Homo-oligomer: A and B are copies of this chain.
Amino acid sequence: MFKPITIKDIAHALELSPSTVSRALSDSYEINEETKKRVIEYAEKHNYRRNPIASSLRHGRSYSIGVVVCEVANSFFSQAIDGIESVAYGKGYHVIISQSHDAYEREVVNIQHLANRAVDGLLISMSAETKDFSHILKLHEQGLPIVFFDRVIDDFETHTVTSDNRKGAKQATLSLIDRGFKKIAHLANAPHLSITAERLEGYEEALRQCDIPLDESLIRYCHHGGRVQEEVDEAARYFINLREKPDAIFVASDRLSMGCLSAYNKLMPRESHPAVAGFSNSDVLDLLQPGFTCIRQPAFKMGQVAMEMLIQLIESRYPVYDFENIVLETELIQR
């Protein structure tokens, strides 16, 4: 059906050898300017395009990289993807996005799918449900370059990029305390995610600094990262039914901020909602929800840095043993 023109066709038409055509198209210094011009003109005229699959096979490289995120319909991740793409395209790489939907099984399947030469490297942000990392470890041991961003794995010898979650969480919590709230709850992400622990630390640190005792009953985890709205609704109902209701909530993620606000909207009039501050990269959420203070992560930058690190790993001639763990600053947006 779809039969594009090949180097052979050009060679035949111009009475040259395929190798000459190949060299002419890659602008080799060995080739006569005159010949180059003929080849390039013919190629353009006939809409020739190098077959990337053959090229990949030859080079043992696909010039594409895989990205694994929980979902793309998420401001943070879509901005990170934009950052990744901005670097990737500039360096001649394709970007293949795949979504785990925060489910362990999807993550395993997708990573398997991407691995083994279909991609030259992987950019991963862990799924909320994943506790077992052997599927990733195995690939890494085989030599597949991997860089983690945002949601990383401990004790994994590779580059990582994250934001300063502890500090951001602390700022957000402090901003609630500053506004006079005393009973501040924490709606947390899945317990085994790296970001969950760090953000929890920041929350605790803020309370400690202001001599507010930590009340464990004010912390609720969402094991599916809010993918299941029911778990967020349940958390909101739990907070509402406490004898001493929280007057404010620090929410650990974009997805959960959305879920939390909508859960409360279903449960009570807006005037009686607790104050909410949380991590969010959404442009509109904060506009639609007056008084919502948010922590912005440098998502675009994080994508860029992650991609740069991955390219460094891919293009390095020798195995890399010296890994960087870059931490970017967050920004507090207060209204």
Q: What residues of chain A have their CB less than 8 Å away from a CB belonging to chain B? A: 1-4, 47, 49-54, 56-57, 62, 71-75, 78-79, 81-82, 85, 94, 96-97, 99, 112-113, 115-118, 120, 138, 142-145, 229, 258-259, 261-262, 265-266, 270, 283-285, 287-290, 319
Contact = CB atoms under 8 A, between A and B. Distances in A.
Contacts of A54: 57
A115 B2 CA distance: 10
B73 A75 contact: yes
25 contacts: A1-B145, A2-B117, A2-B120, A2-B142, A2-B144, A4-B116, A53-B53, A53-B56, A71-B78, A72-B72, A72-B78, A72-B97, A73-B73, A73-B75, A94-B118, A97-B97, A229-B283, A258-B284, A261-B288, A262-B283, A262-B287, A265-B290, A266-B287, A270-B290, A288-B289
A52 B94 contact: no
Contacts of A266: 287
Nearest to A314: B1
Contact of A53 (B113, B118, B261, B319): B118
A167 to B, nearest CB: 26
Nearest to A319: B1
Contact of A49 (B96, B115, B283): B115
A97 B52 CA distance: 17
B289 A116 contact: no
Contacts of A85: 99
B47 A57 contact: no
A99 to B, nearest CB: 8
B75 A116 contact: no
A231 B250 CA distance: 34
A233 B147 CA distance: 39
A189 to B, nearest CB: 18
A17 B81 CA distance: 44
Contacts of A283: 229, 262
